[in-house]
């Protein structure tokens, strides 16, 4: 622990040493008192570090954190280091721009937050204690802690979907499908069905050109993901930045935060999406909310309720009825193959599939063997249930094996060439079958590949001879699917701040306040000290010394010269902002310059934050000017 503290102190001192001279000495005078000359800056920095390393001072800083302080700190615990402008932009939906600006500046003055390379970070000396006080609420609103039991697009739904597509020989939604998926609302089921068709088609898991075909190798790889990883893949596949590593981390974090929150209002959900987008360095995508709803992660019921996305898939035994209907509850394991040789009848709390002649033949046609089906049923159901079914399927398999139809190219060669074709390892995957020692059935779709292999082996390969010219388009491999799969396999639930924190109970140190009031100081010195006390900048009696740090921080009403003076102090300074109260609005600005008309009326040229729109305002029309100090390193 001592070693960690030393590292934190060194980091604290390193960051402070990079502050501007004005900011640095403002902090030194506030916390260490009057600075006498000559002085050695590294010694002052070391004294500041010692001051904040004292347990009493750290505890007092933590005790003075109120709800808005914790909201800002909790936001930074989600996003990581952020520029102050980004913090204000994120919270503008819940608080006014000026309110957040003043509080961020105050947290910097209190050295709860430091500025490192333009970004706000936790004070290293306090980072562990600050992180322990962060929570997801009220940053992301208030709500009950209960996950919804609403359905979502998990591996069970995808198995049922693929089974249905195989049965219907098409991937077009029909209203009758609501009977198969009774837990889904009709409109949401249609959206989910169409979105899933699009994603699976894009990744060549599903082909729906002339006839429907399913790439079960890819489907198997997809279904080996747990539901958290699967949803990450589906969300990433709809993102414009799908192939970026950060997109997978973003989606995984988003699902983790939503599950922890269990429910969230629309504004808080948008804040969460924007905050995580900044954390992972990707552009904010307003469609993410819609996509979350489409996949069933969230459902709107007054607020957005979050589905209970399972990461584990407990296995359940199969129940086989005499009509060849198979049912089970819960979820099947990752490598389950029931959906490949049966057609879905109901996907609800209880799932029900039906084995038919057509479903069995579909399975055999798609490359699943009878032996695999037999072994599956023997391992997942009792002998009394599967014995009759296996006899019937065995008889069907014998009839099926009596005829085999290949869609292939016939390769006819002499004995020497046949020896090469038979023994080249790179040709193995392109051969369907050896008809005779010199006749081979070769895959049509990979003709270009195996022709090149033969040429590379020194053979002369002529054109394909045919009676009728048939155009065979080469199927394009979807590189994106393998990248999506790799990215999703790395997705894991992340560590989160606690959901609900303790309600802060802030009580001022009346003994310190009384000590200031009784001190033998001038009125200006007491006023300055009391202002800093109210701003939570006084932690110890050692800070109560006879000095004035802030000569004036606000002026208003008829104090025209005071307003002009403040405006001139702030003009051209990037570490100072002004909060202006006009008759009809409040502005937060950076003062650019003060100019005068011929009649000697003072004009303040400002850049209005955060748009930085330039305006010229007569100072006489400004009711109140308040100076807000920024600490920009």
Q: What are phi and psi of 588, to 5 degrees?
A: -115, 125
- The model's pTM is 0.84
Q: What are phi and psi of 630, to 5 degrees?
A: -105, 150
Sequence-distant (≥ 6) Cβ neighbours of residue 256 within 8 angstroms = 493, 494, 496
* Cβ atoms of residues 348 and 329 within 8 Å: no
Please name which of 431, 440, 432, 433 lies closest in space to residue 412, comparing C-alpha atoms: 440
Instruction: Determine what percent of the chain is predicted with pLDDT higher than 90.
Output: 65
Buried b (16+ CB within 10 A) or exposed e, 264-281: beeebbbbbbbbbbbbbe
What is the C-alpha to C-alpha distance for residues 474 and 263, in angstroms, rounded to an integer?
A: 48
The string of pLDDT tens digits covering residues 215-263 is: 999 999 999 999 999 999 999 988 866 556 789 999 999 999 999 999 9
Pairing of the two strands 298-301 and 325-329: unpaired
Instruction: Determine what percent of the chain is predicted with pLDDT higher than 70.
Output: 95
> In the prediction, which pLDDT does 467 show?
53
Distances in whole angstroms, Cα of residue 557 to Cα of each of 362, 433, 561, 580, 605? 85, 96, 11, 12, 20
> In the prediction, which pLDDT does 204 show?
84
Give the H or E element holding residue 378: helix 370-380
DSSP 498: E
Burial of 36 (0-12, 13-18, 19+ CB in 10 A): exposed
Dihedral angle sign, alpha carbons of residues 453, 455, 459, 462: positive
> In the prediction, which pLDDT does 583 show?
86
What is the C-alpha to C-alpha distance for residues 529 and 542, in angstroms, rounded to an integer?
A: 12
What is the C-alpha to C-alpha distance for residues 544 and 31, in angstroms, rounded to an integer?
A: 9
> In the prediction, which pLDDT does 605 show?
94
Neighbours of 533 (CB within 10 A): 20
Q: Longest C-alpha distance within the chain, in Å?
A: 114
Please name which of 517, 497, 500, 501 lies closest in space to residue 509, comparing C-alpha atoms: 517
Laid out side by side, the sheet with 624-629 consists of 554-556, 624-629, 576-581, 586-596, 602-608, 613-618
With a cut of 50, which residues of the chain have pLDDT below it?
1-3, 469-477, 479
> In the prediction, which pLDDT does 473 show?
46
The DSSP-derived string for 246-301 is HHHHHHHHHHHHHHHH-EE-HHHHHHHHHHHHHHHT----THHHHHHHHTTSEEEE
What is the C-alpha to C-alpha distance for residues 587 and 502, in angstroms, rounded to an integer?
A: 34
DSSP H helices, 281-369, are 287-294, 338-341, 357-365
How many alpha carbons lie under 13 Å from residue 484 in its C-beta half-sphere?
27
């Amino acid at each position: 622990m001592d070693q960690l503290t030393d590292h934190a102190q060194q980091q604290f001192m390193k960051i402070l040493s990079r502050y501007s001279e004005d900011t640095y000495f403002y902090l030194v005078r506030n916390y260490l008192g009057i600075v006498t000359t000559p002085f050695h800056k590294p010694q002052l920095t070391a004294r500041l570090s010692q001051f904040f390393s004292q347990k009493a001072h750290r505890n007092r800083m933590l005790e003075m954190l109120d709800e808005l302080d914790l909201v800002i700190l909790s936001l930074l615990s989600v996003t990581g280091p952020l520029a102050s402008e980004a913090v204000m932009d994120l919270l503008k939906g819940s608080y006014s721009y000026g309110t957040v600006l003043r509080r961020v500046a105050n947290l910097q003055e209190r050295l709860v937050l430091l500025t490192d390379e333009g970004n706000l970070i936790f004070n290293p000396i306090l980072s562990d204690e600050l992180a322990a006080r962060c929570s997801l609420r009220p940053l992301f609103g208030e709500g009950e802690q209960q996950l919804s039991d609403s359905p979502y697009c998990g591996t069970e739904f995808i198995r049922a979907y693929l089974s249905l597509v195989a049965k219907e020989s098409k991937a077009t939604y029909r209203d009758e499908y609501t009977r198969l998926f009774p837990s889904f609302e009709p409109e949401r089921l249609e959206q989910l069905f169409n979105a899933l068709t699009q994603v699976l088609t894009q990744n060549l898991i599903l082909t729906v050109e002339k006839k429907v075909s399913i790439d079960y190798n890819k489907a198997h790889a997809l279904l080996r993901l747990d539901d958290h990883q699967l949803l990450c893949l589906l969300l990433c596949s709809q993102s414009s930045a799908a192939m970026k590593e950060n997109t997978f981390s973003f989606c995984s974090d988003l699902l983790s935060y939503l599950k922890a929150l269990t429910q969230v209002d629309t504004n808080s959900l948008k804040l969460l999406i924007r905050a995580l987008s900044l954390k992972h360095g990707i552009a904010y995508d307003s469609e993410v909310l819609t996509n979350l709803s489409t996949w069933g992660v969230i459902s709107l019921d007054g607020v957005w309720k979050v589905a209970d996305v399972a990461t584990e898939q407990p296995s359940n035994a199969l129940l086989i009825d005499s009509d060849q209907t198979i049912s089970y509850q819960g979820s099947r394991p990752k490598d389950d193959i029931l959906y490949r040789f049966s057609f879905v009848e109901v996907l609800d709390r209880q799932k029900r599939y039906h084995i038919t002649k057509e479903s069995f033949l579909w399975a055999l046609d798609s490359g699943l063997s009878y032996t695999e089906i037999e072994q599956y049923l023997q391992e997942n159901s009792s002998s009394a249930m599967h014995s009759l079914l296996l006899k019937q399927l065995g008889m069907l398999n014998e009839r099926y094996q009596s005829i085999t139809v290949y869609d292939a190219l016939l390769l006819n060669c002499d004995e020497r060439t046949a020896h090469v074709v038979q023994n080249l390892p790179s040709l193995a995957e392109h051969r369907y079958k050896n008809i005779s020692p010199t006749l081979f059935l070769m895959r049509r779709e990979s003709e270009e590949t195996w022709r090149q292999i033969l040429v590379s082996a020194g053979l002369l390969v002529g054109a394909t001879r045919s009676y009728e010219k048939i155009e065979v388009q080469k199927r394009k491999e979807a590189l994106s699917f393998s990248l999506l799969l790799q990215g999703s396999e790395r997705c894991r639930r992340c560590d989160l701040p606690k959901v609900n924190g303790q309600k802060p109970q802030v009580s001022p140190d009346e003994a310190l306040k009384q000590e200031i009031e009784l001190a033998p100081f001038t009125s200006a010195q007491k006023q300055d000290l009391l202002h800093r006390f109210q701003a939570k900048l006084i932690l110890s009696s050692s800070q109560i010394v006879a000095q004035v740090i802030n000569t004036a921080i606000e002026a208003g009403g008829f104090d025209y010269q005071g307003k002009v003076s403040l405006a001139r102090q702030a003009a051209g300074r990037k570490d100072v902002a002004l909060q202006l109260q006009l008759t009809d609005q409040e502005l937060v600005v950076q003062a650019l310059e003060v100019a005068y008309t011929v009649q000697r009326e003072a004009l303040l040229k400002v850049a209005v934050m955060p748009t930085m729109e330039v305006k010229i305002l007569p100072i006489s029309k400004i009711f109140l000017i308040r100076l807000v100090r920024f600490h920009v390193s």
